[in-house]
Amino acid sequence: MTEWSHAGIWAAIAGIGICTYAIRLSFIYLFGRIDSIPPRIRHILRYVPAAVLAALVVPAVVTVQPTVGETLLDDRLIAGTIATLVAWRTGDIFYTIVVGMSALWVIRFGPLLIG
């Protein structure tokens, strides 16, 4: 499978874990020592939750099918579009989740219940 030994693989995993921990700890340590966050940094940090949510949701919703028509008619993409419209219109997270999941279930399981 790989030319790496078991010890090399575990060393790589440990190294990556230590680097990830150090990066996250540096922000906690940095902001713990600073009395106030500069306005420019505070402005940038406002966009982090939306960016993380988009990074988590978009790959789960958008799948590339063999044809453009199949991609646009994917049940997750349609339900995600409906949920996006509800979120844009209402701004209510709970209502968006309920409507989005309901739309997905109706699109996915509705034909099974009818026929």
pLDDT in tens, 103-114: 999 998 887 777
As a dihedral over the C-alpha atoms of residue 29, residue 32, residue 35, residue 36, rounded to 10 degrees, the angle is 80
Specify the 3-state DSSP secondary structure of 90.
helix
Q: What is the C-alpha to C-alpha distance for residues 96 and 102, in angstroms, rounded to an integer? A: 10
Provide mean pLDDT across the span 96-105. 94
Average pLDDT over residues 56-83: 86
Tokens (6 digits) for 39: 């306005």
Angstrom distance (rounded) from CA 51 to CA 90: 20
